[in-house]
Amino acid sequence: MDSISCSASRITPRFRCFDPTNTYPATANHRRYYSTLPLSGSRSPRAANTNMGDSTTITEPKIVTGDCGYVLEDVPHLSDYIHDLPTHTNPLQDNPAYSVVKQYFVNVDDTVAQKIVVQKDSPRGTHFRRAGPRQKVYFESDEVHACIVTCGGLCPGLNTVIREIVCGLYHMYGVTRVLGIEGGYKGFYARNTVPLTPRVVNDIHKRGGTILGTSRGGNDTSKIVDSIQDRGINQVYIIGGDGTQKGASVIFEEIKRRGLKVAVAGIPKTIDNDIPVIDKSFGFDTAVEEAQRAIAAAHVESESVENGIGLVKLMGRHSGFIAMYATLASRDVDCCLIPESPFYLEGAGGLLEYIEKRLKENGHMVIVVAEGAGQEFLSENIRTIDKQDASGNKQLQDIGFWISQKIKDHFSKQKKMAMNLKYIGQLLKTLHDPTYMIRAIPSNASDNVYCTLLAHSAIHGAMAGYTGFTVGPVNGRHAYIPFHRITQKQNKVVITDRMWARCLSSTNQPSFFSPQQLLEKKTQVEVEENHIDH
């Protein structure tokens, strides 16, 4: 799509966003694109043997354009494939809790900008539909039969999201039929369900984990949609990471193919904060806070002995956000290693040389390493590096144990100084490992509030007839985001950004980059940013 440059005129541009209840024609400055590619295979109401990784239909992005380079990446709506759907008055207007709200409902033209730092002549850029209650809804309260499923690994806040979906549906919209699907996606056809009421979920936010259970791996999409159809479910709330959201997208496509009036809403979950577009994922604040305990313990251990080294392994398979933010928050860390920033051990400017220097200066040090850092070193020695778990994630080797052994070997060979190393993060995966301690705890106050906002945004979207979307804050405003935007890549620490520079400034560690490597990284980031803009 060509960029549309905007003049420096102070005249306010006029534009309209897509209103699912309006059938206005396209205009020169307002174009709507939404189509489905030709289907392959059976056209029967029930498709056979459709796996989570496959899709019989592929919905193209739904784009609305306006003046001055305005682009809205809209989300699907039930009225896109089911015509003449009746609408109903939103019951929130009679809800006592909302009686003091100045504006009950979100304006149909409200959108949220993905990029907020611009120049005066910049195009307005990509926007997403703002989340919130609409004046008209496409479901009556007694018509709704909702279900909730949690998939993937554990994360602080899962139970809070479950609770707030149930209580939000019940108290805001008068919905009384909500099912919990046990055991992840396979629970749709292989496990029992549990009725969820405000009374059942009242105290679950105080517990870690998920009361519904979870599992990893792709399952039979056709069987899942068969179960949804047979049970009469018409709202599906799916809580999980990028793999789960990919599965949710396929489920939506199959529901759309069958022409079912079923809204599919995703709530993105990843403790690593590696989901793109949104500001952050729930559980991340709790993870950073809990990581302080491990770092504090390592600091006490290291400064209590001669030349003590405290080594802490934290979560971060592909993204080092937890390690970076925990390092910044702690101020006790002397070196932070993340997957995005390569490092080397031997030679001038290497990690081992820096450790020696730090011990001579301070007499102790703390090293934080994300679990996905330095995996290229281990792949040279371990043949199992290509093994994957049920979700398709590469099984990582224990980088913390490997680094601790390398440090011990180095100092035993040098024989220049005594060294005492404590590794907080055991070789075996037990609850003594901080990466597992963090996953299993209840969410903190900040995440509890955030989970409530996510749950309510998903409810408002589903009741308004939107489907095939996920929710999350974009520049501080909650929005509805198409599934494909959060599954096409992972959010990673940009090591040419100021936040990583702040982290390096806090630890005083070297960047472990040669000037040539740094130039290559900057060029790579610029190419990626230009690709996003266009």
Given 3-state DSSP classes, what are the helix, strand and coil percentages for the chain, each rounded to the nearest 5? 35, 20, 45
**Which class for 4: exposed (0-12), middle (13-18), buried (19 or more C-beta within 10 A)?**
middle
What one-character DSSP code corresponds to residue 371? T
242 marked among binding-site residues: yes
Distance CA 335, CA 351 (A): 9
Distance CA 90, CA 88 (A): 6
Distance CA 298, CA 311 (A): 7
109 marked among binding-site residues: no
The conformational region for residue 207 under phi > 0 = left, psi -120 to 50 = alpha, else beta, is beta
398 marked among binding-site residues: no
272 marked among binding-site residues: yes
Neighbours of 300 (CB within 10 A): 14
241 marked among binding-site residues: yes
315 marked among binding-site residues: yes
153 marked among binding-site residues: yes
Contact 211, 202 (CB under 8 A): no
Q: What is the 3-state secondary structure (H, E, C) of 434-458?
A: HHHHHHCCCCCHHHHHHHHHHHHHH
365 marked among binding-site residues: no
Asked if 80 is an active-site residue, the reply is no
Helices within 304-398 (DSSP H only): 321-330, 351-362, 375-379
Question: Hey, what are 489's tokens?
Answer: 């890549």
437 marked among binding-site residues: yes
216 marked among binding-site residues: yes
Choose the catalytic residue: 272, 285, 334, 398: 272
Which residues, other chains included, contact 38 with Cβ-Cβ below 8 Å and sequence gap of 6+? none
316 marked among binding-site residues: yes
218 marked among binding-site residues: no
36 marked among binding-site residues: no
Binding positions for ATP? 153, 216-217, 241-244
Detail the residues annotated as belonging to a binding site for Mg(2+). 242
The residues assigned a catalytic role are: 272
Which residues does the annotation place in the binding site for substrate?
A: 270-272, 315-317, 371, 436-439
